[in-house]
Structure formats: C-alpha cells, structure tokens
Chains A and B, each alone.
Chain A
Amino acid sequence: MQRFISAIALSMALAAPVLAQSYAVTNGRVVTNTDSGIIENGTVLVRDGSIVAVGGDVTIPVGTTVIDADGGWITPGIFAPVTQLGLIEVALEGSTNDTSADESPYSVALDVADSFNPAGMHIDSNRLGGITRAALYPGTGWNIFAGQGGLIDTSGSNTSLFETGSFVVADLSQSGAATAGGSRSAAWTYLDAAFADARGYPGRFSGDHQGDALNRYDAAALVPVVRGRVPLVMELDRAADIRRALRFRTEHAPMQLVIAGGAEAWMVADELAAAGVPVLIDPIRNLPSSFDALGSTLAGAQRLQEAGVTVAYTTQSADGYFNARLLTQHAGNAVAHGVPWDAAFRAISLTPAEIYGVGDRFGALAAGYTGDVVVWDGDPLEVMSAPVAMLINGEPTAMTSRETQLRDRYINITDETPFAYRR
C-alpha cells in the first residue's frame, strides 16, 4: 500500500526500458554484504546493468529513474543454491519433469542446461520471493552421478542461463549406496573408479576400450572435476560419510568438494572448517528423517557458523522448484535459532555465489557488481515481508506471475463478469 511510488516508478521504467538504462534505488536500509555493512537511508545506483555506486550520499545523475524504497529494505538478490527452477513444471507429470533420467545410458555428461526452460511458470513466482540467481541441480537417476549443474538468473529471458557446467552432483548418501549396488562401500568404490576413468581420459578410452565405471562421454564430463576446475557436490547427511568425503577429497587433490544435505555436518564442523569445504544445508531440517540424519537439529546452522564453516542455505525440506522462494523464511528461522542476521542473509545471497565461483559478480551491493537489487517492504527474513520491486541485470522485472493472475481473477468473487473473461 505504501509502495505506490515505487510501483509507479517501475511501471514507467518498464514502459521505456531503452530510454532509461540508469536506476537509482533510494530511501531504504541498504544491506551491502560488504565491509560497508548496512547503510541506513542509502541509495544504490545502477547503470547499464551494473552497480556503479552504493552509499548514504550518492549523487543521482539527471535522467536516472528513481525507485523509492520508501523506508523499506534494499538488498542484493537472493541466490538459491539448490533448485530445479525451469526443470519441473508439475513434479508428478514425468513429461514436465526433467530433473533426472532413470533410463539414460549417461550420467555425469547429463547437463541441466539442455533441460532448462526459462519460461517455466515457477520461475516468476520464485522471483517474487526475491530470488534473482539460482543454481540448477540435476537429480540422480540410475547412477550416483546426477550430471552437471548450471547457474541462472530468474528474469525468464532467453539468456537467463548464464553459466553451464558449473559443478557435478553425486549422491553418496544412503540412497546413493542403494543406487550403487546396495552399500556405501559400493558407492565409494564406484566413485573412486570413476575418478580413475576421468584421470585416464582420453588415453584409457582408445580403440574400443571403456572405463571401469564410466563410458567415454561421462568420463570426459568428469575431467573438470578431477582436475579441480569445478566442484563435485556430494549429497551426504551422516557424519561418518562426511568424514569419508573429506578423506576422498584429500586422496583426490586437487578436486573441490561441496557437501549438500549435511544433516550431521555440525558434528564434523571443525574438520569442514579446516578443510575449507562448504556445506549447503536447510537450517530448519531438525527431524531424524532417516538413519543418516539422526543428528538433525535446528542448532546445526549456528554450530556450523560458530565453527567457521562456509554455509549456504537451501529449501531441501520444502522443494527446489516451487518453494525455493521460502529461502528467506528458512534463513529467518536460522536467526531465530542463533545465527546472526548478517550471516544468515549472506547464506542465501553472497555465500552461494562464492561457492559457485561467481561471488565477485553476484550477492553484494557494491560498485562493479551486477545490478541484482531487491526492494522489500520490511526485513526480508520476516515471513510477513515481501519484495515490492526488483532489478535483475540492472533492469526492472515484472512483479507478476501466473499465481498473481489467478489471484486477481478470483479476488472479487461477486464480480458479474464470468471468470474466464477476467484477465
């Protein structure tokens, strides 16, 4: 209601994007995610897609479109570290779900980039939760390797997939053990053999030779992981398995390791911190959902934080395609359970960007960063707050979705116009 000014400013901006390439987001509490901390009553100046100035005393050039935050909060966009945005439209309808491929002969080589649909309906509704960037995660099928992940923005544009081959995902948890043949031993042996295949690529595959674990395509796709150019994300919960992963990493230097899941990561916090291995956890997972996750606790996020582990938050206990937008709620609950606010907010913005090697472009409000800016009507980690305006790549985005269209169609139940004619 108090956001009319910014809404009007935005609709003007949307009407003439070619004329107005500069935006000043003003009059808000600016969360920078830099040494500047939080700037009260600050301004973020964006030009030609990038942030050019942030501060309490920024001169706004003539011709700049002003977006008045009206005393709200101005933050970097949320970066969702584990999603299936644009990979799932209706989860149970296989024809609309491209997360995993049970019947494919390939594994590591499977690339989410080929499945990603920037027009997926849930991208809009997740953007309305403040998400501007996300990592796309493949799901495992018949093999412990799910495939290769990529990075997107949530603008819905044809260029929103901005990086591919960003990481490889493998399941080494109890489900990975089942996939590999029935035990953890089978999963780790397979992983070790796969690494050997990739190290031996292409020589080992001359003539008709295949690898011990991987075929030619999959071995080639694993080469960047083996050489440490992109991280291997291991899905793991049990403390003993995380320790096994840390040992595997040491044995296979220079590989980069990221732990996803991490229900019991807090029990291995000191080792993770010493190794510099990041963890992607859902801070609200607190039930012993499996025998791998008996140590799940709402205190986990805070314990990892205190130990100095690099932590990014996920919505694992919800989902990654419809409700990745709940990241702010999950981060807020981490605060309720002891994590400092700044750390919790970083865990859904700058830290994920850093884990994926793009922390110099996304996740902070500082000159030189990409113009991903969100204006909120209150503390973004409060469940009653919401974004009221957003820039992605320095351009305003629509604050509507199929969900808001349905809402607007039915909100006046006594309207005499038949529903199907309301748009």
Chain B
Amino acid sequence: MTLKAWMPATALAAVFALAACSGETGTSGGDTQTASSESGDVVRYSLDPYPSTYVPRESGVTLIQNATVFDGIGGRIEDGDVLVENGRITAVGTGLEVPEGATVIDAAGRYVTPGIIDIHSHLGDYPSPGVNAHNDGNEMTSPVTAEVWAEHSVWPQDVGFEAALAGGVTTLNILPGSANLFGGRGITLRNVPSRTVQGMKFPDAPYTLKMACGENPSRVYGSRNQSPATDMGNMAGYRAAWQSAVEYRTSWNNYWESAEAGEDASPPSRNLELDTLMGVLDGEILVQMHCYRADQMAQIIDLSHEFDYQVTTFHHAVEAYKIPDLLAENGTCAAVWADWGGFKMEAYDSIRENLPMVHAGGACAMIHSDSDMGIQRLNQEVAKALADGRRAGIDISDAEAWRWLTSNPATALGIADQTGSLEVGKRADIVLWSADPFSTYARADRVWIDGALTYDRRDEAVQPVRDFMLGQPGEGDQ
C-alpha cells in the first residue's frame, strides 16, 4: 500500500505537509491538527483519529515442514516448508534448514495456505445473538450516510469472530449494511481477540466505502415515500452526493493552496459525510459496492467515470458472469458467493459457475461471505464453485483458485503488500489444514496471525472464548 495523502497531486507541498500529520506516519490521532506558521495555522484534520492499537503477539521462529503448500498467488509446492520469524514469512520452499530454537511442525499429509481474507463481513456490527440491541449494521435513517464508520459499531465480543478464526479467516473487512446508497466506511480487521476494535484494526489498511445498488435502497426509502424509490432515484442520489464531494474537495484544495502560500484564507466548514467521499476521489478510500445485476454494474461504472473515481469491487455481483469483459476493462473486481440466490428479484439469475466464469473472463474474482455462517467455510465455497466450473469446462487449478480466498481480496482491500500470500516479507498469516481444504472433511488445525499461534484445534488453551459465552451452555464449544 502506498501511503498517499488525501490531497490533490497538484499541491505537492501540501501533500507532504499533510502526510506528516495524517497519522499514517505514526503520529497520534486527534481532532484537528495544524501546521503552524508565522502567518497562521493551516487547518487539517487527522485522517486517522481512531488509530490501530494492534500489536502482534510475540512469536518466535516457526518452521512448518513437508506440507502441500498453496501460496495464494497460483503456486503449489509439494513437500513444502514455510519459515516464520518475527511474525513475517522469511522463507518458502523445500528442504529448508531448521534454524536454531525453531518450533518445528511436521505437516506431512497436511496443507498450508495463507490465511483467508473475507472482504465482506458484518461480524461485530450484526453480532450474535441477533437481538434488537445488536442491529448496528445499517444506519437506515438517510440514503447517504457516508459519515458513519462501521468500526464504531463493531462489538469485539462477537462470538462469530472466533468461529471465523476456526475456519481459517485471519483478515476481514467489516462493512455497513446495504440499506443506503452510501452506507458508510468499512474497516479492515485482524481476526484477533481484543477488548477494543482499535486492537483489531489492520495497521495502515485503507478505509473502504460501502455503497449499494438496486432494490435495497429503493425499497427502504421508497416505502417511506422518500427518495430513492426507484433505480433512477438511486442514480440521482449517487450523482448528487458525488457532485457535492467534487465541490467540497475543490473548496478544500483552494483553501490549502492559499493557506500554504501564506494568503489569508478561511477553511471550509467540515462535513464528515463529504470527507469520506473526498477520500474516494483522492484514491485513498476503496469503494466496495453491493450490486447484483450486470446492467446496474454497467451504470455504476459509467457513474465512476463521470465523477472520476474507481469502483474497487462489486460485492454479491450475482450477474458478474454476464460482464467479465466490462469488469476486466475497468479493473473492477467481483466478490461473490458460490451459490446463494433467489431471495430477491436482483438475485434471481444466480448461477453456480459465477466465480470461475468471472475469473476465466479475465476479471479479478474472489469469494466473500456476507454471513457469520458462510465465513466459517469459505474454502468449501470456493471448492464448490471451482468444481462446478470444471464440470462446465473451465479448467482452473486448485492453486489458482486460492487467489479467490487470499490474494485477490488482499488486493481489493489495498493490503496485498502485507498479506494474502505466502511470500517472503509478508505477514505470517497462515493456516495449517488437516487435509485438502477443498474437501468437506478438512479442518483448520492451526491458524497463525502475524506469526503468533492464534488458534489450535487440539489445544483449548489456544481457542479464544469471547466474554459473551462465559457461563453459557455453549462455552468452549465450536
């Protein structure tokens, strides 16, 4: 991930000034930060006012030996070894030398993969149990709520996190729901137990923005006799918001340019909603858009051209198989289910070969869950889609299909330089599987996050139990 600022490339001096106080370089967050000068303060706001406090747990040197290794970027190594030191992968290959003091794990007959990344989860925002007080995922009060941040709803005691961990999920993007045109910011988390969400935040991961197409916004607001009530109302709503964002961004850029030049300038009023949209226009915040139908995805791609931003990923995208060429041309990914559909009209054309057909069509494809159940078995979801694709004549290797679980979602979350593959230098997010993870019978035996053993199927001491489950009938059960 490149550490770009929130700013136009034209004001280079300002970019550097901003980066220095953005929090991305390690300064603490705060409400307002100013770069002081004799002629007055230049007003800037922190881009990271709720900074990550996640620190990887201490881990020594671990060597996993003799496994079938899928590296997450298309490679497969038989009798492969993976070496982890100081939380990072330091070697991947065969016959690696055992470093002194290393914990050695014989994985003969077993499989090693990168940790799974779910780009679409509502864990913590819609936690278990599903009681009224836990409906924290959809700010259904206005069609444009880009100012809300999913992290502010995440309840870190959601039992779903540890269930996902037992399924090999090491990183996940928590998104607001899809009731609104602009649902709010999403947040990328490490799947580690923590008392606070800050303790789970993936350091330096870009923010995401949840947007939604189609039936949900028009149903929610149409039923209130409010706009949007139709698909065309949806489009009008996006356009109005983006236009405001363009104007807001211009006003800030003008202000910064003047203020930096020492001119007498007053900052624009801060607008939290437009701050988020400005982040998208500056390429800092990645758009993750719920969109089912092919024709609607095509409209949204035109919308992104009109306002000059990038749609990083269409989520659900049940009709992505109809437009892989369009997605490929625009560099937009599709995050899909293996076989969900039918629950509403825009999901009627769901087919089981969506994932392999998008991939075969040249676009970036990945699996996602959108479910506290599905997230526990994303490996099986990919296995189903892969097998269905093969039956339809699409020949994709197991190793290639691992991209759908790891490196492709990492790319779509802007963290591919950190995780999503077993490559030297990457965070040691690793799953050891009892058998081929594309078998129903495989279980995650162990899961490491940043090199630290975070889950062990055979050792209760390494199985997190959230506060909520203490004393409950299911305490300690999986």
Task: Tell whether, in the assembled complex, residue A319 and residue B440 are in contact, meaning their CB atoms are under 8 Å apart.
Answer: no
Which of chain B's residues have a CB closer than 8 A to the CB of A253? none
Q: How far is the CB of A213 from chain B (nearest CB, A)?
A: 29
Cβ contacts A to B, 27 pairs, < 8 Å: A88-B342, A90-B343, A91-B343, A92-B215, A239-B473, A286-B478, A287-B159, A287-B372, A287-B373, A293-B129, A295-B472, A298-B477, A298-B478, A322-B342, A329-B384, A329-B440, A333-B440, A381-B440, A382-B439, A384-B384, A384-B387, A384-B439, A385-B387, A407-B357, A411-B357, A411-B393, A413-B357
Interface assignment of A323: CB less than 8 Å from any CB of chain B: yes
Q: How far is the CA of A294 from the CA of B473 in the complex (A)?
A: 6
Task: Tell whether, in the assembled complex, residue B474 and residue A296 are in contact, meaning their CB atoms are under 8 Å apart.
Answer: yes
Q: How far is the CA of A298 from the CA of B343 in the complex (A)?
A: 26
Q: How far is the CA of A72 from the CA of B351 in the complex (A)?
A: 25
Instruction: Give a binary string over B421-443; 1 marks a CB under 8 Å from any A CB, 0 the rest.
Output: 00000000000000000111111
Q: Which of A290-333 contact B (CB under 8 A)?
A: 290-291, 293-299, 317-319, 321-323, 325-326, 329, 332-333
Interface assignment of A217: CB less than 8 Å from any CB of chain B: no
Interface assignment of A98: CB less than 8 Å from any CB of chain B: no
Which of chain B's residues have a CB closer than 8 A to the CB of A153? none
Instruction: Give a binary string over B308-350; 1 marks a CB under 8 Å from any A CB, 0 the rest.
Output: 0000000000000110110000000000000111111100111
Interface assignment of A386: CB less than 8 Å from any CB of chain B: yes
Q: How far is the CB of A297 from chain B (nearest CB, A)?
A: 4
Task: Tell whether, in the assembled complex, residue A92 and residue B440 are in contact, meaning their CB atoms are under 8 Å apart.
Answer: no
Interface assignment of B361: CB less than 8 Å from any CB of chain A: yes
Q: How far is the CB of B431 from chain A (nearest CB, A)?
A: 15
Question: Per DSSP, are chain A's interface residues mostly helix, strand or loop, or mixed?
Answer: loop
Closest residue of A by beta carbon distance from B393: A411
Question: Per DSSP, are chain B's interface residues mostly helix, strand or loop, or mixed?
Answer: loop
Given known A239-B473, A407-B357, contact A383–B340 (CB-CB < 8 A):
no
Task: Tell whether, in the assembled complex, residue B384 and residue A90 are in contact, meaning their CB atoms are under 8 Å apart.
Answer: no
Which of chain A's residues have a CB closer than 8 A to the CB of B321? 407, 410
- 7 extra A-B contacts, CB within 8 A, seeds A329-B384, A336-B440: A289-B128, A322-B343, A382-B439, A383-B440, A403-B351, A411-B392, A419-B322
Given known A289-B129, A384-B387, contact A295–B343 (CB-CB < 8 A):
no
Interface assignment of A288: CB less than 8 Å from any CB of chain B: yes
Instruction: Give a binary string over B380-410; 1 marks a CB under 8 Å from any A CB, 0 the rest.
Output: 1001101110011110000000000000000
The number of A-B residue pairs with CB atoms under 8 Å apart is: 143
Q: Which of A390-423 contact B (CB under 8 A)?
A: 403-404, 406-407, 410-411, 413, 419
Closest 6 CB pairs of A and B: A332-B440, A295-B473, A322-B342, A297-B477, A384-B387, A92-B344
Q: Which residues of B contact A (CB under 8 A)?
A: 128-131, 159-160, 163, 215, 321-322, 324-325, 339-345, 348-353, 357, 361, 372-373, 376-377, 380, 383-384, 386-388, 391-394, 438-443, 468-469, 472-474, 477-478
Given known A294-B473, A295-B473, A406-B351, contact A382–B342 (CB-CB < 8 A):
no
Task: Tell whether, in the assembled complex, residue A288 and residue B474 are in contact, meaning their CB atoms are under 8 Å apart.
Answer: yes
Task: Tell whether, in the assembled complex, residue A333 and residue B377 are in contact, meaning their CB atoms are under 8 Å apart.
Answer: yes
Q: How far is the CB of A376 from chain B (nearest CB, A)?
A: 12
Task: Tell whether, in the assembled complex, residue A291 and residue B131 are in contact, meaning their CB atoms are under 8 Å apart.
Answer: yes
Q: How far is the CA of A93 from the CA of B129 in the complex (A)?
A: 27
Q: How far is the CB of A128 from chain B (nearest CB, A)?
A: 9
Q: How far is the CB of A375 from chain B (nearest CB, A)?
A: 14
Given known A287-B163, A296-B474, contact A382–B440 (CB-CB < 8 A):
yes
Task: Tell whether, in the assembled complex, residue A294 and residue B129 are in contact, meaning their CB atoms are under 8 Å apart.
Answer: yes
In which size bucket is the chain A interface? 35 or more
Picked from B160, B325, B388, the residue with its CB within 8 Å of the CB of A386 is B388
Interface hub of B340, B343, B392 (most chain A Cβ within 10 A)? B343
Task: Tell whether, in the assembled complex, residue B325 and residue A413 are in contact, meaning their CB atoms are under 8 Å apart.
Answer: yes
Interface assignment of A284: CB less than 8 Å from any CB of chain B: yes
Which of chain B's residues have a CB closer than 8 A to the CB of A287? 128, 159-160, 163, 372-373
Q: How far is the CA of A386 from the CA of B478 in the complex (A)?
A: 28
Q: How far is the CB of A238 from chain B (nearest CB, A)?
A: 9
Interface assignment of A264: CB less than 8 Å from any CB of chain B: yes
Which of chain B's residues have a CB closer than 8 A to the CB of A329? 380, 384, 440
Which of chain A's residues have a CB closer than 8 A to the CB of B361? 413
Which of chain A's residues have a CB closer than 8 A to the CB of B377? 284, 333
Closest residue of A by beta carbon distance from B395: A1
Interface assignment of A122: CB less than 8 Å from any CB of chain B: yes
Which of chain A's residues have a CB closer than 8 A to the CB of B439? 382-384
Q: Which of A89-139 contact B (CB under 8 A)?
A: 89-93, 122
Task: Tell whether, in the assembled complex, residue A336 and residue B442 are in contact, meaning their CB atoms are under 8 Å apart.
Answer: yes
Which of chain A's residues have a CB closer than 8 A to the CB of B345? 90, 92-93
Q: How far is the CB of B407 from chain A (nearest CB, A)?
A: 22
Picked from A92, A122, A293, A407, the residue with its CB within 8 Å of the CB of B351 is A407
Task: Tell whether, in the assembled complex, residue A406 and residue B473 are in contact, meaning their CB atoms are under 8 Å apart.
Answer: no
Given known A90-B344, A288-B469, A384-B387, contact A295–B380 (CB-CB < 8 A):
no
Task: Tell whether, in the assembled complex, residue A284 and residue B373 are in contact, meaning their CB atoms are under 8 Å apart.
Answer: yes
Which of chain A's residues have a CB closer than 8 A to the CB of B215? 92
Which of chain B's residues have a CB closer than 8 A to the CB of A404? 351
Q: How far is the CA of A239 from the CA of B321 in the complex (A)?
A: 45
Which of chain B's residues have a CB closer than 8 A to the CB of A67? none
Interface assignment of A74: CB less than 8 Å from any CB of chain B: no
Interface assignment of A82: CB less than 8 Å from any CB of chain B: no
Q: How far is the CB of B445 from chain A (nearest CB, A)?
A: 12
Q: How far is the CA of A293 from the CA of B343 in the complex (A)?
A: 24
Q: How far is the CB of B218 from chain A (nearest CB, A)?
A: 12
Interface assignment of A222: CB less than 8 Å from any CB of chain B: no
Interface hub of A286, A290, A293, A295 (most chain B Cβ within 10 A)? A286
Task: Tell whether, in the assembled complex, residue A386 and residue B387 are in contact, meaning their CB atoms are under 8 Å apart.
Answer: yes
Task: Tell whether, in the assembled complex, residue A383 and residue B478 are in contact, meaning their CB atoms are under 8 Å apart.
Answer: no
Q: How far is the CB of B180 from chain A (nearest CB, A)?
A: 18
Task: Tell whether, in the assembled complex, residue B349 and residue A288 are in contact, meaning their CB atoms are under 8 Å apart.
Answer: no
Q: How far is the CB of B188 from chain A (nearest CB, A)?
A: 22
Interface assignment of A219: CB less than 8 Å from any CB of chain B: no
Given known A91-B344, A288-B129, contact A335–B441 (CB-CB < 8 A):
yes
Which of chain B's residues have a CB closer than 8 A to the CB of A335? 440-441
Picked from B128, B352, B440, the residue with its CB within 8 Å of the CB of A403 is B352
Q: How far is the CB of B167 from chain A (nearest CB, A)?
A: 10
Given known A287-B160, A287-B372, A288-B469, contact A384–B340 (CB-CB < 8 A):
no
Q: How far is the CA of A321 from the CA of B342 in the complex (A)?
A: 8
Interface assignment of A53: CB less than 8 Å from any CB of chain B: no
Which of chain B's residues have a CB closer than 8 A to the CB of A13? none
Interface assignment of A267: CB less than 8 Å from any CB of chain B: yes
Q: How far is the CB of B332 from chain A (nearest CB, A)?
A: 16
Q: How far is the CA of A329 from the CA of B339 in the complex (A)?
A: 12
Closest residue of B by beta carbon distance from A335: B441
Q: How far is the CA of A386 from the CA of B339 in the complex (A)?
A: 14
Q: How far is the CA of A322 from the CA of B392 in the complex (A)?
A: 21
Which of chain B's residues have a CB closer than 8 A to the CB of A293? 129
Task: Tell whether, in the assembled complex, residue B343 and residue A319 are in contact, meaning their CB atoms are under 8 Å apart.
Answer: yes
Q: How far is the CA of A335 from the CA of B473 in the complex (A)?
A: 23
Q: Which of A273-287 contact B (CB under 8 A)?
A: 284-287
Q: How far is the CA of A419 from the CA of B343 in the complex (A)?
A: 25
Closest residue of B by beta carbon distance from A295: B473
Q: How far is the CA of A337 from the CA of B131 in the complex (A)?
A: 28
Picked from B387, B392, B468, the residue with its CB within 8 Å of the CB of A407 is B392
Task: Tell whether, in the assembled complex, residue A295 and residue B322 are in contact, meaning their CB atoms are under 8 Å apart.
Answer: no
Which of chain A's residues have a CB closer than 8 A to the CB of B128? 287-289
Q: How far is the CA of A323 from the CA of B339 in the complex (A)?
A: 8
Task: Tell whether, in the assembled complex, residue A286 and residue B163 are in contact, meaning their CB atoms are under 8 Å apart.
Answer: yes
Closest residue of A by beta carbon distance from B362: A413
Which of chain A's residues have a CB closer than 8 A to the CB of B478? 286, 297-299
Task: Tell whether, in the assembled complex, residue B384 and residue A267 are in contact, meaning their CB atoms are under 8 Å apart.
Answer: no
Given known A288-B129, A411-B357, contact A332–B441 (CB-CB < 8 A):
yes
Task: Tell whether, in the assembled complex, residue A413 and residue B324 are in contact, meaning their CB atoms are under 8 Å apart.
Answer: yes
Which of chain A's residues have a CB closer than 8 A to the CB of B373? 284-285, 287, 317-318
Which of chain B's residues have a CB closer than 8 A to the CB of A384? 383-384, 386-387, 438-439
Task: Tell whether, in the assembled complex, residue A294 and residue B472 are in contact, meaning their CB atoms are under 8 Å apart.
Answer: yes
Given known A90-B348, A291-B131, contact A407–B342 (CB-CB < 8 A):
no
Q: How far is the CB of B339 from chain A (nearest CB, A)?
A: 6
